[in-house]
A and B are shown apart, each in its own frame.
Chain A
Amino acid sequence: QVQLRESGPGLVEPSQTLSLTCTVSGDSISSGAFWWSWIRQSPEKGLEWIAYIYYNGRSACNSSLKSRCTISVDPSNNQFSLRLTSVTAADTAIYYCARRFGSGANTDWFDFWGQGTLVTVSS
C-alpha cells in the first residue's frame, strides 16, 4: 500500500521560507510511473494545488505562487520537497503531499494522500 508522510516545521515566521518534505513508501518515485504533488487547504482558499514533480525533476508550480514556489525530488531517498519563500499569514494551511495518478497527459487526479501537516505562519 502506498503511503506518503509530510514532515517539516509547523511554525514559520513571516517573510521566511517554508520547507516541507514528503517521504513515500510502498512505491518508488524513480519508477517514473507517477508524478508527485503538493496541495494545501485553508478555510480562506479551500483546496489549492501547489505543484507537482516527476522523478527526473520535470515540474510545474501554480502560477498564483509566482516565483515563490520550488519543488524538488530525491529519488534515492524516495522523497520530494517543497520550498515556499517570503511566506505571509495567507500561506497558513494544512499541506498535503499526494500522488498524481499516471505519468501521461490528462491524468491529474490524486489517488494517494498524506495525512497532512499544519503550517502556521506567525511571529
Chain B
Amino acid sequence: DIQMTQSPSSLSASIGDRVTITCQASQDVRWYLNWYQQKPGKAPKLLIHGAITLEPGVPSRFCGTGSGTDFTFTISSLQPEDVATYYCQHYIELPLTFGGGTKVEIK
C-alpha cells in the first residue's frame, strides 16, 4: 500500500497568514492526489482533485501544487472558517489511502 505522510500534524497561525501543508507519497502517484477539509463533527469535504484542480465553490485562497511524491496545500490568507483538519489522498491505485491529517488552528 502507498503511505501518505503529511506534515506538520498540527499548526497554529494568525488570521491572514499563509499556511502550507505538505504531503509525501511513499511512491510516485503522478498527479493523482486529492485534498479534503474536515471540520469537527462533519464529513470530509473535497477541496482539490488532481493535485491542482479546485472544486466548484471552493475559495481561491486554497491552492494545491506538486506531482510525483511531493505535494503542497496552501491557504494564502487564513480565515476563521478555515479551522479544520486537512487530509491528502492518492488515487493512483487500490487501495486508496489517506494522509494522517493536519489540524489547523487560529493563534
Contact = CB atoms under 8 A, between A and B. Distances in A.
Interface residues of B, number: 23
Interface stretch (B17-25, B61-69, B76-84, B87-95): B87-95
A120 B94 CA distance: 26
A47 interface: yes
B86 to A, nearest CB: 12
A111 B98 contact: no
A111 B57 CA distance: 12
Given A101-B49, A111-B55, A106 B32 contact: yes
Contacts of A48: 97-98
B44 A46 contact: no
Contact of A63 (B34, B95, B100): B95
A64 B101 contact: no
Given A111-B46, A116-B43, A62 B55 contact: no
Interface residues of A, number: 21
Nearest to A48: B98
B94 A60 contact: yes
Given A109-B46, A111-B55, A115-B43, A47 B91 contact: no
Contacts of A13: none
